[in-house]
Amino acid sequence: MMEDTISAIATAPGEGGIGIIRLSGEKAVSIAYKIFRPHSAKSLQEYGNRVAVYGKVYDEHGHIIDEAICIVMNAPNSYTCEDVVEIQCHGGSVVMREILSLTYRMGARPAEPGEFTKRAFLNGRLDLSQAQAVMDIINAKTKASLDMAINHLSGYFSNKIREFRHDILAIIAHLEASIDFPEDDIEDLDFEDTREKVKLLQDKIQKMLASAHMGIILRDGLKTAIIGRPNAGKSSIMNLLLGQERAIVTDVPGTTRDSIEEYVNIGGIPLRLIDTAGIRATDDIVEKIGVDKAYSYAGEAELVLAVFDTNEELSAEDEEIIRLMDKCPGNIIVILNKIDLSGDKNTELLKERLKGCTAAKIRGIVPMSAKNGEGQEGLEELLKEIVYNGRTNIGESQAVCDARHEEILRRTVNLLEEALNTIDMGMSEDFIVIDLRSAWEKLGEITGETFDDDIVNQIFSNFCIGK
């Protein structure tokens, strides 16, 4: 058990029906004994482990702070593997802060962000990748993101990594045996066989890496910009996708001046939407800021929804959008909006015009009506195609969903490549072992079996307080 006893409000900031103050560490239980008295004649000690006890929280002067439920969870059967106490009180910010500060006065100290989970990791209850999954569960944007995080928490991904490490160790062991006992000529080391095993492992890791595109999108969302000239229907499309009125929708060109960022769930894929001001030449300063932003967003976005109004002739502003599309690095979906109105003035012309530009990045053209929702399914299908890349059963449980993990796996693949080169150059077993050992260590950074304090601290500092 860590020396310090930590304490924090574990529920979300703000007011709620219930708020939870959580303590972990050596003094957690004794602090609970001091500040909580059960309603019944029994003392908290008599209730024992993992029982919800109804009673009141008292300060050091015997004043009642609140009614509450107190649960004592003795080590090691708790979230942190330490003694943990949870006090469920009323969810007002004043009452929670009062109880929190009382626990400080009784000897606890404020928990740092993610410190409960960090303790769970340091005490061996979770590995590093599982600890990260805890945060992913909290932040999950869609059910698919949540499913992936739950699978990661249950250790499926970590086990796969451990399997890879185990495979590397087995190859190393074989090589070392032939180094240590050359005279025993354990069937004279077959370099071809070693090569094959390393290659097989490298392929497996490559396959896992291929899921990173999807996994990272499911976890972090696909950064999406909506571009189009004023009044093309950008805000309306965003509202349609959000399923609620959020952006200001109006007839006056250029009113969506500020950018709004919001997550939307399209067929399980979280899009991080950035609405942008209409793009047009203008002298208006505020408008200009919006326009410049539109350019920078479209340049950063992984997906651009380019909206055109099918009822208007292609204008100089539309031409500007088409030019901008040429500069977008991400995938582009063209939306032909307002198909509920009859006067299609430009679909054919637009399609013709688009043939000349960025064809490789234009993943599809979707006729749509932001007004009645027509075409939304087509958009959803197209998105799934882009994100899942034709794989319907994508095995989210094994998906790489973190840029750090992706980088580690990439480096592991390179280290295995070096091992292959070493074999091909006819070098001795010792050199192959050196390469393989580096790969083995690198992989351990995912689960935290080999880890650097700074990295671990950085990972947990992104957590919220109380988690």
Interface contacts to ligand GDP, rule CB under 6 A? 228, 230-236, 249-251, 256, 278, 337-338, 340-341, 369-371
Q: In whole angstroms, how large is the CA radius of gyration of the chain? A: 29
State the minimum distance, in angstroms, from the CB of residue 353 to ligand GDP: 19
Task: Compute the distance between CA of residue 53 and CA of residue 61 in angstroms, rounded to an integer.
Answer: 22
Taking the least distance from each CB to ligand GDP, the nearer of 370 and 394 is 370
Task: Compute the distance between CA of residue 256 and CA of residue 248 in angstroms, rounded to an integer.
Answer: 6
Taking the least distance from each CB to ligand GDP, the nearer of 233 and 270 is 233
Taking the least distance from each CB to ligand GDP, the nearer of 190 and 374 is 374
CA atoms within 13 A on the CB side of 298: 29
Amino acid at 360: A
Taking the least distance from each CB to ligand GDP, the nearer of 78 and 256 is 256
State how far the alpha carbon of 14 is from the alpha carbons of 19, 65, 90, 451, in Å.
Answer: 9, 18, 12, 36
Taking the least distance from each CB to ligand GDP, the nearer of 276 and 412 is 276
Taking the least distance from each CB to ligand GDP, the nearer of 126 and 237 is 237
State the minimum distance, in angstroms, from the CB of residue 265 to ligand GDP: 20
Taking the least distance from each CB to ligand GDP, the nearer of 5 and 235 is 235
State the minimum distance, in angstroms, from the CB of residue 141 to ligand GDP: 24
Pairing assessment for the beta strands 269-275 and 36-38 based on DSSP bridges = unpaired
State the minimum distance, in angstroms, from the CB of residue 330 to ligand GDP: 19
State the minimum distance, in angstroms, from the CB of residue 338 to ligand GDP: 4
Task: Compute the distance between CA of residue 247 and CA of residue 239 in angstroms, rounded to an integer.
Answer: 7
State the minimum distance, in angstroms, from the CB of residue 372 to ligand GDP: 7
What are the beta bridge partners of residue 334? 306, 365
State the minimum distance, in angstroms, from the CB of residue 224 to ligand GDP: 15
Element at 53 (helix H, strand E)? strand 52-58
Nearest of 203, 250, 239, 241 to residue 221 by alpha carbon:
241
Phi, psi of 301 (to 5 degrees): -65, 145
Cα 303 to chain centroid, rounded: 18
Taking the least distance from each CB to ligand GDP, the nearer of 98 and 340 is 340
State the minimum distance, in angstroms, from the CB of residue 269 to ligand GDP: 22
Categorise residue 25: left if φ over 0, alpha if ψ from -120 to 50, beta otherwise: left
State how far the alpha carbon of 382 is from the alpha carbons of 328, 353, 374, in Å.
Answer: 18, 21, 15
Cβ pair 316, 239 in contact under 8 A? no
